[in-house]
Amino acid sequence: NAGVTQTPKFRILKIGQSMTLQCTQDMNHNYMYWYRQDPGMGLKLIYYSVGAGITDKGEVPNGYNVSRSTTEDFPLRLELAAPSQTSVYFCASSDIGGRAQETQYFGPGTRLLVL
């Protein structure tokens, strides 16, 4: 059981470029999340999904897009990268109901540098 996996681990982008951060979970969880973590800050929610085909905005969605075509995958798309998107991005997943719903499992993160 690999849990939550993310690729790439690290990426440098030029301003205006685009890229997709990949996230896959093998726990058959319905809920998936994208967070960003800036230096010295807690994690902030970008987007989340409660199941295939259903996504919703979090606290800081501007500049990002998501899709959820399968239960396992939840890619995050950056269009027109800006220096303000330099951050560490974490994907997380959780199951439905009770404590399982509140226990989010995190991936190892993707470090993104926009220059």
Residues of this chain that interact with another protein (CB under 8 A) are 4, 31, 33, 35, 40-45, 48, 50, 56, 58-59, 90, 99, 101-109
CB of 80 to another protein, least distance (A): 24
CB of 16 to another protein, least distance (A): 28
CB of 65 to another protein, least distance (A): 17
CA atoms within 13 A on the CB side of 56: 5
Nearest CB to another protein, comparing residues 11 and 44: 44
Round to whole Å and give the CA distance between 34 and 1: 21
| Contact predicate 56/33, CB 8 Å | no
Nearest CB to another protein, comparing residues 87 and 104: 104
Nearest CB to another protein, comparing residues 90 and 114: 90
The torsion defined by the Cα of 78, 82, 86 and 90, in degrees rounded to 10, comes to -20
